[in-house]
Amino acid sequence: MADIYHEIPPRFQVEIDREKCRLCERCTVNCTYDVHSFQGERIVARSENCVACQRCATMCPQGAISILPGKITFAPHYTYSDRIRRIIYEQASTGGVMLAGSGTDLPYRVIFDDLLLDAAQVTNPSIDPLRETVETVTYLGRKPDRMSVAEDDGKLIVSRGADYPNVELSTPIVVGHMSLGSISYNACLAILRAAKEVGTMVGTGEGGLHPDFYEYADVINSEVASGRFGIEPRYLKEIAAIEIKIGQGAKPGHGGHLPGEKVDAVISETRMIPKGTDALSPYPHHDIYSIEDLAQLIGALKEASRYRVPVGVKIAAVHNSAPIASGIARAGADFITLDGLRGGTGAAPRIIRDHAGIPVELAVAAVDRRLREEGIRHLVSIVAGGSIRYAADLVKVLALGADAAMVGQSALIAMGCRACQMCHLGNCSWGIATQRSDLTRRLDVDIAAQRLANVFHAWTEELREILGALGIDSVESLVGNRDRLRYVGPNPKVAEVLGVKHAGEPWSD
């Protein structure tokens, strides 16, 4: 059977400049994919193993290493592209389901890039955020239908009905759910520190919360997923918010998957499962087979958390998201997280990652519209994620109807991730998506935390700059304000679904 594996042309070509190389062997230590080795008198690179994580090239003191596109070309074929042929070769060798990490790399059109922002001119003055106040404070949670305030003889009497807990964020950016397991202890810690500094919220992912991380409880959004890993009383009581995970943009309809090899002592303690066992979450929650079951779980979690924190529900953006979101709002959720087609993952079947779901831009617009039509938009906040790459996407997704944007991949990139999409292998050479102690210590927590906080500060400042240019001095006046967007893409139907006019058309709706 040895011959059943066919050699496939390498995707990348690793070249070592022999003039520069001093044979220090640092590359052989840094590479986690078995590319570099010292063979007698020279470093030999096995290009077929390279994933272009750039670790060796970055760490080489001589700058002697280049990573280039593979030099062996396939005969050009549009239909049976290189990508398709590689998949078939791979599956012919293994007979397995292809796994992948990160979000889909297929060239689905990024609708954000087809949207342009408005700016104030003459009839409404723009605002300079360096001289004037421009606010970005955001509250996530259910709002009442109305306030009840009566004026009586020099008194204002405020009658409160049910208490709706809201989470206050200093900026409308939250970090999505990346569990301890999908990423390293150090990476989790860096994210928590950054969020604490900035004043926003971080999802735990499905893996529970490591005891050390309760120090950051006031920025933590505890995920309750179908595997129910790591759920304990304080996981629901001491934190800022709870989120039921129904689905994830990278793998709609699938549950979490953490292979046993990654379940070391730290993960075992956090997830509350024996060392070395696979942590496989069921695809659906086995106590949620319809919307009324979801309502019961929401109710149970609110009881468990003493109604102190908002309880949200995360779904993958799918074709029927709008009616589903309506059901979730009516089931009592305080916020809904929409995770789009391009959302990331630690590990997912590639076929699902690449082909299921819809872009978050369309999902947000559809959900926001539907909830308004039904008169229940105030019952839930909308959080949108799945390829919020930078501040422009943040602004646009708010204008399309989201109250806050959720980021994952960008946060990892800020900490050093090169987006090589090999998270599922657990050999992350940058110490992020791995549990190997020799690798996790490569991530300096203080530096990673500061780099991430810098990105959040930069985005918030850019958000202020854009708000000021729009003549808006507080971010809530951008939420759902599609009138300030214009479409320049090729498909008018997209603009229609987004509820956005075409560029060149004046104000109106």
Partner 1 sequence: MNGFPYRGTWDKPATPPGRLGRIGEACGIAALVNLDGRPESGARIGKMIRTMVDRENGLGAGYAAYGLFPERADLYCLQMLFDDRGALERAREFLGKIFRLDADEEIPTHPVATLSGKAPICWRFFVAPPKEADGQEDDYVMTQVFRINAELAGAFVMSSGKDMAVFKGNGWSYEIFDFYGIGDYEAPLWLAHSRFPTNSPGWWGGAHPFNILGLSIIHNGEITSYGTNRRFVEMWGYRCMLLTDSEVIAYSLDLLLRQQRLPELVACAALAPPYHFLIDEMENGGARELLREIRVNYRPAMLNGPFSIAVATNYETPTLLGMTDRKKLRPLVAATSADGNTVFLSSEECAIAILGEDATEAWAPHAGKPVIAGVGRGLVRRGTEEYFQGLEIEFSNA
| Residue number, 212 or 473, with CB nearest to partner 1 | 473
- Piece in contact with partner 1 (CB under 8 A), picked from 2-10, 405-413, 417-425, 478-486: 478-486
- Piece in contact with partner 1 (CB under 8 A), picked from 215-223, 234-242, 319-327, 369-377: 369-377
Regarding 265 and contact with partner 1 (CB under 8 A), the answer is no
Q: Could you count the other beta carbons within 10 Å of the beta carbon of residue 253?
A: 14
Q: 């070592």: which residue's tokens? A: 16
Least Cβ distance, residue 467 to partner 1 (angstroms): 9
- Give the β-pairing of 65-69 and 12-16: antiparallel
| Interface positions, 121-160, toward partner 1 (CB under 8 A) | 122-125, 127, 132-133, 135, 137, 139, 143-144, 146-151, 154-160
Per-residue binding letters, 275-314, with partner 1 (x by CB under 8 A): ----------------------------------------
Which residue among 40, 95, 375, 490 contacts partner 1 (CB under 8 A)? Answer: 375
| Residue number, 41 or 509, with CB nearest to partner 1 | 509
Q: Do residues 297 and 245 lie in contact, with contact meaning Cβ atoms separated by under 8 Å?
A: no
Tally of residues, the chain:
509
Regarding 48 and contact with partner 1 (CB under 8 A), the answer is no
Q: 């606010």: which residue's tokens? A: 135
| Residue number, 300 or 503, with CB nearest to partner 1 | 503
Query: What is the spatial distance between Cα 328 and Cα 348, in angstroms, rounded to a whole number?
Result: 25
Regarding 234 and contact with partner 1 (CB under 8 A), the answer is no
Give the CA angle between residues 444, 449, 454 to the nearest 5°.
130
| Residue number, 136 or 345, with CB nearest to partner 1 | 136
Query: What is the spatial distance between Cα 282 and Cα 228, in angstroms, rounded to a whole number?
Result: 10
Beta partners for 223?
A: 243
Which residue among 9, 70, 253, 471 contacts partner 1 (CB under 8 A)? Answer: 471
Which residue among 87, 444, 483, 497 contacts partner 1 (CB under 8 A)? Answer: 483
Which residues, including other chains, have CB under 8 Å from residue 239's CB and lie 6 or more apart? Answer: 209, 217, 218, 220, 221, 222, 309
Which residues, including other chains, have CB under 8 Å from residue 229's CB and lie 6 or more apart? Answer: 206, 207, 208, 271, 272, 273, 279, 281
Q: At what angle do helices 360-373 and 321-330 cross, to 10 degrees?
A: 50
Regarding 504 and contact with partner 1 (CB under 8 A), the answer is no
Which residues, including other chains, have CB under 8 Å from residue 237's CB and lie 6 or more apart? Answer: 304, 305, 306, 308
Regarding 482 and contact with partner 1 (CB under 8 A), the answer is yes
- Piece in contact with partner 1 (CB under 8 A), picked from 119-127, 229-237, 242-250, 359-367: 119-127
Regarding 200 and contact with partner 1 (CB under 8 A), the answer is no
Least Cβ distance, residue 472 to partner 1 (angstroms): 5
Query: What is the spatial distance between Cα 266 and Cα 273, in angstroms, rounded to a whole number?
Result: 11
| Residue number, 39 or 159, with CB nearest to partner 1 | 159
Query: What is the spatial distance between Cα 194 and Cα 183, in angstroms, rounded to a whole number?
Result: 16
Which residue among 470, 494, 495, 498 contacts partner 1 (CB under 8 A)? Answer: 470
Q: How many angstroms separate the Cα of 195 from the Cα of each of 203, 393, 450?
A: 11, 20, 10
Query: What is the spatial distance between Cα 127 and Cα 296, in angstroms, rounded to a whole number?
Result: 47
Least Cβ distance, residue 122 to partner 1 (angstroms): 7
Least Cβ distance, residue 5 to partner 1 (angstroms): 58
Binding site for partner 1 (CB under 8 A): 120, 122-125, 127, 132-133, 135, 137, 139, 143-144, 146-151, 154-161, 163, 166, 372, 375, 377-378, 470-474, 476-484, 505-509
